[in-house]
Amino acid sequence: MSEPRVSTWRIALTFNQIALASFGGGLSAWSRHMVVERQRWMNDEEFLSAMTVCRVLPGANQVNLAVFVGARLRGATGAIAAILGLTALPALIVLALGALYTAHRDMPSVQATLRGMTAAAVALSLSMAYRTGRACLTSPPAWALFAAALLAGAVLRTPLLALLAVLAPLGMWWAWPRKVLS
């Protein structure tokens, strides 16, 4: 028995919820929550693989993810629904907020609100990293690759392409299926 096909409307609404829930940051965390936990369209491993591909490709990571998930569920119409859900209403809200900010940017309450939103966005990103890491960092080689990427990227400020040139082949070699010797 096959699963019922997900409607384009549901795809658009889900990505709209992701966009609206993550205003100020934390888009990856909300994407994971909705796609993996709530809708169960992917498992953690599939989501992490998709996010990895979406981060390496040119363009905005979350738009790439919307295209990936939408296309996986309903082809081109699913990809379009996901992009519209992710961008249409948020774009209108950003335009309205931009006009309000321009008019009131010097108010201390506006500055305090923005600082609070920044802290929440950082917390959501750390939450996603923790949940994804807990599910995927299950062996010493995975931890070693994670530590090397963190050290090279965050501490040494290695450019992304250089980091990928070294660590991506190592990660693929480690994850590549091998025959089990009996």
Asked if the model's pLDDT at residue 35 lies above 90, the reply is: yes
**pLDDT tens profile 45-59:** 899 899 989 988 888
Q: Which residue has the higher pLDDT, 113 or 22?
A: 113
The structural domains of the chain, with segments of one domain joined by +, span: 8-110
**pLDDT tens profile 121-157:** 788 778 878 888 887 888 888 889 889 998 998 899 9
Q: Tell me what the mean pLDDT of segment 69-92 comes to.
A: 95
Q: Where are the alpha helices (DSSP H) in the chain?
A: 8-21, 27-32, 44-56, 61-104, 108-136, 140-150, 160-175
Q: Tell me what the mean pLDDT of segment 90-103 comes to.
A: 91
Q: Is the pTM of this model over 0.85?
A: no
